[in-house]
Amino acid sequence: MINGCINRSDCVTVQTGTDWINMQIRIIRVFISLLATYGCWFASGAPAIIPAPPRLAAEGYLLMDADSGHVLVEHNSQQRLPPASLTKIMTSYVAAAEIGSGRLKQDEEASISVKAWQKQGSKMFVKEGTKVRVIDLLRGIIVQSGNDASIALAEHIAGGEDAFADVMNQHAALLGMRDTNFVNATGWPDEDHYTTAADLVKLTRALIVDYPEHYKLYREKDFTYGAPGEIPKKQLNRNRLLWRDKSVDGVKTGYTEAAGYCLVSSAVRKGMRLITVVMGATSEESRVTESQKLLSYGFRYFETLNLYDAEETLRTVRVWGGEKRSIDLGLQQPVIITVPRGTKADLEASMTVQGVIKAPFSKGESLGTLSVTNGETTVADVPMVALVSVEEAGFFQRIWDAVLLFFTQMFSVDPLQV
């Protein structure tokens, strides 16, 4: 008989209070053992799995996070290649800069020359002897990729296409496009007309950041224009990604026999903007699908993190011999980084500040360094600067601070914290 039962099969085991407590103690011990063994794994999450970058059927290509400037994928990105109509990104950039400076108005009219009217290739279909508004020429360049519109705008801004190409090259130099040379405003083939995927991504990033209102023209899917006395023609934007992917809002296509099929594209998903450059693809469809591969890879496996804002206070430190006793240290620019998804918890930040900070110094002067690491990789290393200027204190205050600093250092007290 077990606990009063006649047959074992008829019995129900009854646990006493002590038995129940002992069982719970055993469960807790097992849980603690598991936590000790796997706690770090649970805390940090499973290791991030990032596949190898896609390999594209193109001569040169590049994928960049527009906010951080981090290059995620590149192949032959420094190779000088003919850009075809990707040139017109710079043509429109120059116009945006002229509009931004007030030297050019969108509603002013440009005269159409014989040279512009006769230019072959893709056209806006302007007519010689007529006048066209600058904003219409810009749409003709950006949406319709019109060679005639590009020449007309170049002549209106600089007096001639050669002079305009010189302006283009000056802007390229300012943007750090070291492997670029323009000889025309259209991308018409010329052995001295070249650029690289790396330079094009610099240009596109500057266009988006510096002239966001102008950049909105690049998302327009069609434009209708008709010269006086002619039937207006509706032409579609050649960038097929505008129809295939709602997150895409630009940028520009290009094609010549020498350049192959080219496409610069940009897209935004959940606040993350990527820019792709594909040069020398084998077909119109290929430049689209290859660009999609880059965008999919970037958005799926990486994320953009805004770690610190510009002029955000990171540390407050003691000032010696100054009119202010303490100041805040921060950054001149925001710290934005791109990391593989799933590695955010691995980020670590450290600050190094000068041992003794003495006045005078100006706002923006570097007084330390902020370093951010992801595992063994340094992802940011930027100066920490004074967020205000501090003038030198009066004579007696300087003497007092010198004495106090002497004893502070003698007794090994941190002079930044006194």
Q: Is 353 left (phi over 0), alpha (psi -120 to 50) or beta?
A: beta
Give the closest residue to 60 by CA, choosing from 170, 181, 160, 196.
196
CA 413, CA 308: separation in Å to the nearest integer? 29
Residue 26 CB neighbours (<10 A)? 10
111 is catalytic: no
Cβ contact 273:267 at 8 Å: yes
Q: Which of 77, 92, 113, 145 is catalytic?
A: 145
Amino acid 40 reads: C
3-state secondary structure 192-255: CCEECHHHHHHHHHHHHHHCHHHHHHHHCCEEEECCCCCCCEEEECCCCHHHHCCCEEEEEEEE
User: What values do phi and psi take at 282, rounded to 5?
Assistant: -90, -15
Burial 144-178 (b: 16+ CB within 10 A, else e): bbbbbbbbbbbbbbbeebeebbebbbebbeebebe
Cβ contact 304:336 at 8 Å: yes
Q: Which of 68, 77, 88, 265 is catalytic?
A: 88
Q: Which of 68, 85, 266, 291 is catalytic?
A: 85
Give the closest residue to 252 by CA, choosing from 174, 144, 173.
144
Give the closest residue to 59 by CA, choosing from 241, 258, 240.
258
Amino acid 132 reads: V
CA 161, CA 167: separation in Å to the nearest integer? 10
127 is catalytic: no
β 272-281/260-269 pair status:
antiparallel
Classified as helix, coil or strand, 287 is helix
188 DSSP assignment? -
> Could you tell me how many helices (H) and strands (E) the chain has, helices first?
11, 16
CA 325, CA 74: separation in Å to the nearest integer? 49
Cβ contact 260:266 at 8 Å: no
246 is catalytic: no
Residues recognised as catalytic: 85, 88, 145
